[in-house]
Structure 1
Amino acid sequence: SLLVVMSSIPVETAQSQAAAAAEAGLLYVDAPVSGGERGAVAGTLAIMAGGSPEAFARAEPVLSAMGRPTHVGPAGCGQLAKLANQAIVASTIVTVAEAITFVERGGADPAKVREALLGGFADSTILKQHALRMIERDFAPGGPAKYQVKDTGTALSHAATLGLTLPVLSLVDGLFSEMVAEGDGDLDHSAVIRALQRRNGLPLG
């Protein structure tokens, strides 16, 4: 039999699950995803899979129905890749929030600035989707901030076990933690712009 775990869990948890599965004679794959609700509906999720080559080969046809699976290493590495993904997402969201705050304060039309940046080196899915949320102050949760903090905290904890210091992610984690402490944890993670507004004494959107 094959056990596929698609939750976002600590690397060590996936590794211990894989060991327990092996003792029970099961193949194991940890396969967290990225792409959000839109990716799930469209079947275009990015799927990061950890496990043996044999286990991945067994899981690939099923995972392919949901998106694009990639085998990234042994058990636990799917979670490691997901943490890397979350670090990039969180850091980019904060940078986009700073940019929107910057241009709004400077007197430019933030919607037009976003439009001008699309297609350039600053373009990203986050600029396309989350910058628009920030400009429109639409913070209905797609990915609640409290889950973003869980992921950044888990990434920093695992980095420490590897003897690594991640200064940018530490700053980003602090900003999201501040946001949650201010009562915005159930808002979309794009609402981190509110934390920046608080720090700068600006009216909250």
Structure 2
Amino acid sequence: MVNGAKRVAVIGTGIMGGPMAGRLADAGFDVTAWNRTRDKADALSSRGIASASTALEAVAGAQAVVVMLSSGPVCEDVLLGGGGVLAAMKPGAALVVMSSIPVETAVLIGEKASARGLVYSDAPVSGGEKGAREGTLAIMAGGKATDVDALGDVFACLGRVTHVGPAGCGALTKLANQLIVASTICAVAEALTLAEQGGADPARVREALLGGFADSTVFRQHGLRMVTGDFRPGGPAKYQVKDTSTALAFAHSRGLRLPVGEEVDRLYQAMVDNGDGDLDHSGIILELRRMNKTAKPMACA
């Protein structure tokens, strides 16, 4: 029933949600947006997107609701809290939670949505602000296969969707993604720090490694951020540590030890504790420089 829908509400229009709302509007959807800081929703008016004063106002009459809020607790509060969004949605409408949230939260929201007769998918994304702007996000969709299929029109203008399993599996896949991303960013930061302190030009080292086995999207995009010192937030470090901590908590609940992830989580927590939580997660190289404050560059042998 959802494919062919025209009225879409976007709940959360920050770094990712704003561009995603724009993509939906450009694709011909009638989009209404709500954000806890209203000026971020108001700023989308030039894209033909209406700004609602409350989340309930945004979802009134919506055939699909796309959620891109900052965390599991915020999603629970907005969706399930007193007078929450989910209770205001009509049976047959779709709820698509694209936030990075704990697996348990995704499952709980899915159970509540199913009881209300809603189409549901926990469908977090990867690809950053660039992917959100360009509609090239990797979308990891949990839920019933029929529900994911029913959301095809919504997903099509945002990126490439893969159904990964029942409700909660989208959130789980995103945690796996975040472990890979965070660990790789830290490895890139360590490599460039080594090059810098050894007397090589980090920018030239990065250039030399492009196309080799060390190359990756993370290396290209975040390595460039590191060598240019551009730490404007695409993915803030405070959200990175939120995700690594969530992944570790889930792993520990299954009796698993993830030693690399544990060290990466400690590094990002130190970065946040040192006041850099609002910087891009590629700013982890600044934490390495703090740790190695006595190291001095030396000429290559």
Structure 1 residues 64 and 202, CA gap change in structure 2 (3 angstroms): farther
3-state DSSP of counterpart to 2:218 = helix
Deviation readout 1:42-79 (Å, 9 max, x if unpaired): 11000000001111111123111110000000000000
Q: Output the CA distance in 2 between the equivalents of 1:32 and 1:81.
A: 8
Corresponding position of 1:53: 145
Name which of 140, 152, 155 aligns with 2:244: 152
Q: CA deviation at 1:201?
A: 1.2
Deviation readout 1:70-122 (Å, 9 max, x if unpaired): 00000000000111111101000000000000001111111111111111110
Q: Output the CA distance in 1 between the equivalents of 2:115 and 2:278.
A: 40
Name which of 108, 111, 115 aligns with 1:19: 111
Corresponding position of 2:154: 62
Q: Deviation above 6 Å: which 4+ runs of structure 1?
A: none
The reply on whether 1:186 has 2:269 as its aligned counterpart is no
The reply on whether 1:130 has 2:222 as its aligned counterpart is yes
Equivalent pairs counted in the alignment come to 203
Higher-Rg structure is 2
Length-normalised TM-score, structure 1: 0.96
Q: How does 1:103-142 map to 2 (within 5 A)?
A: 103-142=195-234
Structure 1 residues 40 and 83, CA gap change in structure 2 (3 angstroms): same
Comparing both chains, which one has the higher relative contact order based on Cα–Cα distances under 8 Å and sequence gaps of 6 or more?
Answer: 1
Q: Output the CA distance in 2 between the equivalents of 1:65 and 1:134.
A: 31
Length-normalised TM-score, structure 2: 0.66
Give structure 1 stretches of 5+ with no counterpart: none
3-state DSSP of counterpart to 1:25 = coil
Q: Output the CA distance in 2 between the equivalents of 1:197 and 1:15.
A: 40
Q: Output the CA distance in 1 between the equivalents of 2:189 and 2:276.
A: 15
Q: Output the CA distance in 1 between the equivalents of 2:202 and 2:95.
A: 47
- What's the RMSD between the two structures over aligned residues? 1.1
Corresponding position of 2:126: 34
Whichever structure has more helix as a proportion of its residues is 1
Q: CA deviation at 1:141?
A: 1.2
Name the % identity: 64
